Amino acid sequence: MICNVKLLVTGGAGFIGSNFILHMVRKYPRYRIINADALTYAGNLANLRFVEHCPNYRFVRADIVNHAAMEPLFAEGLDAVVNFAAETHVDRSILQPDLFVRTNVLGTQTLLELAKKYKVGKYVQISTDEVYGTLGDTGYFNEESPLRPNSPYSASKAGADLLVRAYHETYGLDVNITRCSNNYGPYQFPEKLIPLMIRNALADQLLPVYGDGLHVRDWLYVEDHCEAVDLVLHRGKAGEVYNIGGNNERRNIEVVKTILAELGKPESLIRFVKDRPGHDRRYAIDATKIRRDLGWKPQYDFETGIRKTIRWYLDHQDWMNQVVSGEYLKYYEEQY
Ligand code: NAD
């Protein structure tokens, strides 16, 4: 086993980042893992309470855009960086695109510049399938699909991806970009579809579904995503993009009905609401490359993953209540 690898994870207090840190701290006890997170409304240190006292883990509150705050971490000498830090909610990006450009584009550029200056061995950018735009009823996104982002969120993520590519082409930085489909699982902030619907159903509140509910997403259980990022970090070929997806296409309305059925709640709770502007109709990922080149294979089908996820939220209602207090509650009440 490789020892003493020093890994910086940014955005590690968010949904996927915290699942990734839990995965890495337990799997690689001899790595030194630093989590740098600004703790926006989406960051929650309670996600990390099982590892916070581990000797191979350290948390630093820092904004990735802030060069002066980030530089000391790089100056310690890092072997690798995995960047999860981002503004991630499409609806918020429609209201406040400047914040998305700041964090997602400028933040990424700050990390790349520091990675170049301090000769970091590997930089992994966590991107999204949303950079490819939307699909019709057929077809899949592969790594060669053109970037056609439709929301300020996806445009800012695509901008970041292009900078990552440029730092490889221009400066020879060893980078990878991963583009994953929709994740679900424990610790997801309840503004996203699955935890929002679970929370509302448990409280017998209406479940807001955009438009006709026929938008299709390709769902991946978060642990499968973490395993994929682990593989890319260790075995990704410099400069390559890897798509990650589980072949679990579901219409939003099907997902909502599955949750209601699992919780024994009536479909009369569903409320169709005005569609989101620029709402992508369908995403579907061709993950052949990561399966073939890195041997990745998801462990969870959607039925197993969604049951496990619902169980988790049922068992962690205190977590849910804590994260939806304060700033989020105000935002949610303004929307619905
Ligand atoms: P999230 O919103 O749950 O977490 C984002 C984290 O980034 C939070 O902890 C937040 O505090 C932190 N952060 C925000 N701005 C920051 C800044 N300026 N400096 C430092 N930290 C900052 O997001 P998530 O769903 O866990 O997504 C993580 C990454 O994965 C994102 O880059 C996202 O684009 C990508 N992604 C997400 C999905 C998904 O389904 N959730 C799918 C594909 C890709």
| 237 within 8 A of 292, measured Cβ to Cβ | no
For the segment 108-112, the average pLDDT, to the nearest whole number, is: 99
For the segment 152-169, the average pLDDT, to the nearest whole number, is: 98
Q: Is-catalytic flag, 129?
A: yes
Q: Which of 29, 27, 28, 20 is nearest to 47 (CA)?
A: 20
Whether 323 shows a pLDDT value over 90: the answer reads: no
* Catalytic site residue from 37, 87, 113, 129: 129
Average pLDDT value over all residues in the chain: 95
Domains of the chain: 6-185+222-244 (3.40.50.720)
Q: What is the DSSP letter of 285?
A: B
Q: Which of 194, 170, 171, 197 is nearest to 182 (CA)?
A: 194
Among 1-5, 114-118, 119-123, 217-221, whose mean pLDDT is lowest? 1-5
Please give the pLDDT value at position 248. 94
Pocket test for ligand 1, best of 9, 15, 192, 324 (most atoms within 8 A of CB): 15
Q: What is the pLDDT of residues 215-231, one digit of tens each?
A: 999 999 999 999 999 99
Rounded to the nearest whole angstrom, what is the distance from the C-alpha of residue 190 to the centroid of ligand 1?
14
Pocket of ligand 1 (CB under 6 A): 10-11, 13-17, 37-40, 42-43, 63-65, 84-88, 103, 107, 126, 128, 157, 180, 182-183, 189
For the segment 287-297, the average pLDDT, to the nearest whole number, is: 98
Rounded to the nearest whole angstrom, what is the distance from the C-alpha of residue 272 to the centroid of ligand 1?
27
Phi, psi of 205 (to 5 degrees): -100, 165
Rounded to the nearest whole angstrom, what is the distance from the C-alpha of residue 327 to the centroid of ligand 1?
17
